[in-house]
Amino acid sequence: MSPFRKVLIANRGEIAVRVIRACQEMGIATVALFAQADASALHTTLADEAVFLGPSPPPESYLRADRVLQAALDRGCDAIHPGYGFLSENAAFAAATAAAGLTFIGPAPAAIRAMGDKIASRRIMEAAGVPVTPGYHPQAADRAAQEEELLAAAAAIQFPLLVKATAGGGGKGMRVVAAPDDLPAAIASARREAENAFGDPGIYLEKLIEQPRHVEFQVFGDHHGHIVHLFERECSIQRRYQKIIEETPSPALTPRLRAEMGAAAVAAARAVQYTNAGTIEFLLAPDGRFYFLEMNTRLQVEHPITEQVTGVDLVKLQLRVAAGEPLPWSQADLSQRRHAIEARIYAEDPAQGFLPATGRVLRAVEPVGPGVRVDAGITTGDEVSIYYDPMIAKLICVGEDRADAVRKLDWALSHYIILGVATNIPFLRAVVQHPAFVAGDLSTDFIARRLAGWSPQPAPPPDEALIAAALADLLGDGAATAAPSSPTHDPFSPWHAADSFRVGG
């Protein structure tokens, strides 16, 4: 029996497509939302119904919580799936959804609020016994007094350190500080960026863990008090603090370390009575110590690799748990099988500082083969606009072991064709083929250390140029001239030509 009758998907792109398809498999009707730029987008055409939200900029469409909620009510939905990004971690929207008598497919508003505040979440983790990096949050209300506090605290934390925004993420409002003299300028710069990006100038200090790995744990809780983890994902390959390649299992984790980090992840989720899908993110230092980084109170972009190694459909589980069903297994029932790796396909130019690219997709051909999965938000003819995140697809490969998965990903990338828009596919192949990556020697500064200054190989000539060259060569050799021993006098007969049409020509 389906847990819901009709679900509104409050998102766009590949995650909207992913949720729509999961709902369809469960017999649940779907309502898509679209802004002007997405009128003919893949998610818009796949859903059972579609509702126009407004102009293309997100603040005028996908971020309009009032319009999203009204669309769900108008179309008779009984639940809203927020996907990731946009309103997915907006506690006020989750509360408004519940107040309207609809089910928010995600955690409770209180958990979103608690874990969305970096300072509050650090304190909660400390109380729960989860390791956190050394840091300091200013107590004064006045900015000048705050700066004095931060300057004094920095000496105790020791350099290098990070200045970080208390709100938001994605590397915005974050600065690396190597020496005391650089701290005042970094504080001012981080404040400005944080205020512009999040409307909140709050900052704090945190010890910089050098050359760490980024390892996160998928957690899941139900409304009956059960919380489990579905193992780890290694997300160390990043550009501009954003992940581009993820894999599971992590090549760095021993069984003992995996058990310790998994227990810490469950303790973190239990500290806020967490329900539904979430992720506890850790930094893993070279010495084997790990530290809480943050919690994402939603489904993650990289959830498919967890699905591939555990056999659990996380989106369907989200729907069932949101409807009140208990988790169908205990921690002891879960295990990892094989190795999965995911590459995020972005419309961007890595050789130009990963500058986002736009344009019409003239042709999109996805690789097909055993153990190859593509979660795409675009197809041939779609427009990649300036308004949204440039990620357009995810390529997931599964192998018997890590080496097999890496080879398969390289092969699949070489067979993924997207014409009309620049993508990061050549850069992803450079990462996957790098000897350090093949060896599993990963850290969050991998790209900066290993692939700084990367540029693509010269592109091969297009097919039209190759065809023209072949014809010119052929005609230059006297093509279409009559053969003296031709068996026919018809000048248009193919047997009358000596142009290699037949072997003897």
More confident residue, 295 or 464: 295
The continuous run of DSSP H or E covering 411 comes out as helix 402-414
Rounded Cα distance, 188 and 136, in Å: 17
Per-chain mean pLDDT for the chain:
92
Q: Tell me the backbone φ, ψ of residue 90, rounded to 5 degrees.
A: -100, 105
Is residue 470 predicted with pLDDT exceeding 70? yes
Is residue 502 predicted with pLDDT exceeding 60? no
Is residue 488 predicted with pLDDT exceeding 80? no
Residues 32-89 have pLDDT tens digits of: 999 999 999 999 999 999 999 999 999 999 999 999 999 999 999 999 999 999 999 9
pLDDT of residue 346: 98
Residues 442-464 have pLDDT tens digits of: 999 999 999 998 999 776 667 77
Is residue 481 predicted with pLDDT exceeding 60? no
Q: Which positions are catalytic?
A: 298
Mean pLDDT value of segment 488-504: 55
Domains 6-105 and 338-459 share a fold: no
pLDDT of residue 499: 57
Pick the CATH number of 134-207 from 1.20.810.10, 3.30.1490.20, 3.40.50.2300, 3.40.50.720: 3.30.1490.20
pLDDT of residue 7: 98
Least Cα distance to 62 among 36, 40, 42 occurs for: 36
- Domain ranges for the chain: 6-105, 134-207, 212-322, 338-459, 464-496
Q: Output DSSP code: residue 344.
A: E
Rounded Cα distance, 198 and 384, in Å: 25
Q: How confident is the model at residue 490 (pLDDT cuts 50, 70, 90)?
A: low
Kindly state the tokens that stand for 332: 């002891």
Q: Tell me the backbone φ, ψ of residue 413, rounded to 5 degrees.
A: -60, -40
Mean pLDDT value of segment 234-256: 96
The continuous run of DSSP H or E covering 30 comes out as strand 29-35
* CA angle (263, 264, 267) in 5-degree steps: 90
What is the number of other CB atoms lying within 10 angstroms of the CB of residue 338? 16
Rounded Cα distance, 423 and 135, in Å: 38
Does residue 396 contact residue 389 with C-beta atoms inside 8 Å? Answer: no
Is residue 483 predicted with pLDDT exceeding 50? no
What fold does the segment set 338-459 form as a domain?
Answer: D-amino Acid Aminotransferase; Chain A, domain 1 (3.30.470)
For the chain, percent of residues with pLDDT exceeding 70: 93
pLDDT of residue 171: 76
pLDDT of residue 489: 57
What fold does the segment set 6-105 form as a domain?
Answer: Rossmann fold (3.40.50)
pLDDT of residue 170: 67
- Determine whether domain 212-322 maps to CATH 3.30.470.20: yes
Q: Give this prediction's pTM.
A: 0.87
Is residue 482 predicted with pLDDT exceeding 70? no
Is residue 480 predicted with pLDDT exceeding 90? no
Mean pLDDT value of segment 5-32: 98
Q: Output DSSP code: residue 294.
A: E
Q: How confident is the model at residue 486 (pLDDT cuts 50, 70, 90)?
A: very low
For the chain, percent of residues with pLDDT exceeding 90: 82
Is residue 293 predicted with pLDDT exceeding 70? yes
Does residue 408 contact residue 371 with C-beta atoms inside 8 Å? Answer: yes
Mean pLDDT value of segment 404-417: 98
The continuous run of DSSP H or E covering 220 comes out as strand 213-221
Mean pLDDT value of segment 222-231: 98
Residues 341-356 have pLDDT tens digits of: 999 999 999 999 999 9
Is residue 321 predicted with pLDDT exceeding 80? yes
pLDDT of residue 200: 86
Environment class of 332 (CB within 10 Å of its CB; exposed 0-12, middle 13-18, buried 19+): exposed
Kindly state the tokens that stand for 475: 């005609």
pLDDT of residue 435: 98
More confident residue, 169 or 117: 117
Residues 154-213 have pLDDT tens digits of: 989 999 999 999 876 667 899 999 999 999 999 999 999 988 877 889 999 999 999 999
pLDDT of residue 461: 67
